[in-house]
Structure 1
């Protein structure tokens, strides 16, 4: 968890079974695992598993939010991106350096070195814009995504740009994938 003041966190409601085997709410509260990246983005891990398929009664993987998605399983994540104009340049540079350390050759490489935040993960990500708008920037081209749009990001290098004047919220399911 970040040491900065807690941002507005998403409510997370979890169902389960009571002692009699009947469906019930077993947890209801703010998303407990979150991190504020140096860029100002707030990442909230809503749910993650360490294996697929998952049993419906398995407990959540509680390793905490990380920049790197799980090596096995999936992660459901909410991300709030501030407008680019609100991003601190020094914070963005620190984040870029961290991404290079974490992702190595999966981060900026070759012709993509001039694109801040460029990275890839060994996941297939289903990303839906919940609120606002954001640009997904690829090595060859970019496109604007607005509320209700869904991107299927299949392990390719990409970066995010919020060129609007308000935050953008993304809901993402990151599913562990393998490369051919």
Structure 2
């Protein structure tokens, strides 16, 4: 599903202005993971500011994962598992594509989809339903409108529903303590 990204800022007098407006790149389905898409909406680094000459962030190449104090927003579509089971998927090609399209994050995925990041993540289910699986097997069923807050936990997403699930994630970079 196409999305439009609108970015606002300020002119030299401090008045609000439209900085950019256009299609959000990255919402197209992955070639090697049919029905899956993940688009970097925006990213901020430490020291982001607003106002005249404010630097609210960018979408320049580099890791999509935020450093401590930074943030990123991702729009992700998870296809229904029933549709992906029918498709022949080349696991190595899918993993390479994930790393190319989501640098820094793709490398954190294990073969079974589990991953963790050094961030506090806010996930909002926009459409569909999805299951959050924690590393010890606990499953949490989330539906449209539900919100999950994750504190760097190892987890995987499973769409056991019949329709695609679309989620918005905002990751805030954090420092990992302990094991």
TM-score, normalised to structure 1's length?
0.77
1:141-180 CA distance string (max 9 Å, x none): 0110001110001111110111111111101101111111
**Structure-2 residue corresponding to 1:63:** 60
Aligned to 2:33, which of 28, 39, 43?
39
The answer to whether the 8 Å contact 1:123/1:178 transfers is: yes
- Greater mean alpha carbon deviation, residues 159-168 or residues 22-31: 22-31
Q: Does residue 177 in structure 1 map to residue 174 in structure 2?
A: yes
Aligned residues: 162
2-side partners of 1:122 and 1:128: how far apart? 19
Does the CA contact (< 8 Å) of 1:96 and 1:117 recur in 2?
Answer: no
User: 1:123 pairs with 104, 119, 122, which one?
Assistant: 119
- Of the candidates 4, 11, 30, which is equivalent to residue 23 of structure 2? 30
Asked if 1:83 corresponds to 2:80, the answer is yes
Segments of structure 1 that go 5 or more residues without pairing to the other structure are 1-7
Structure 1 pair 94–143 and aligned structure 2 pair: CA distance change class (3 A): farther
1:17 to 7, 10, 24: 10
Contact 2:37-2:76 at 8 Å conserved across structures: yes
* Contact 2:26 2:37 (8 Å CA) reproduced: no
CA RMSD, 1 decimal: 2.7
- Sort the Cα spacing of 1:179 and 1:82 in 2 relative to 1 into closer, same or farther, 3 A: same
Q: For the structure 1 residues 35 and 74, does the alpha-carbon distance in structure 2 shift closer, same or farther, using more than 3 Å as the test?
A: farther
Write the distance in 2 (CA, Å) between the matches of 1:34 and 1:63: 17
Q: TM-score, normalised by structure 2?
A: 0.77
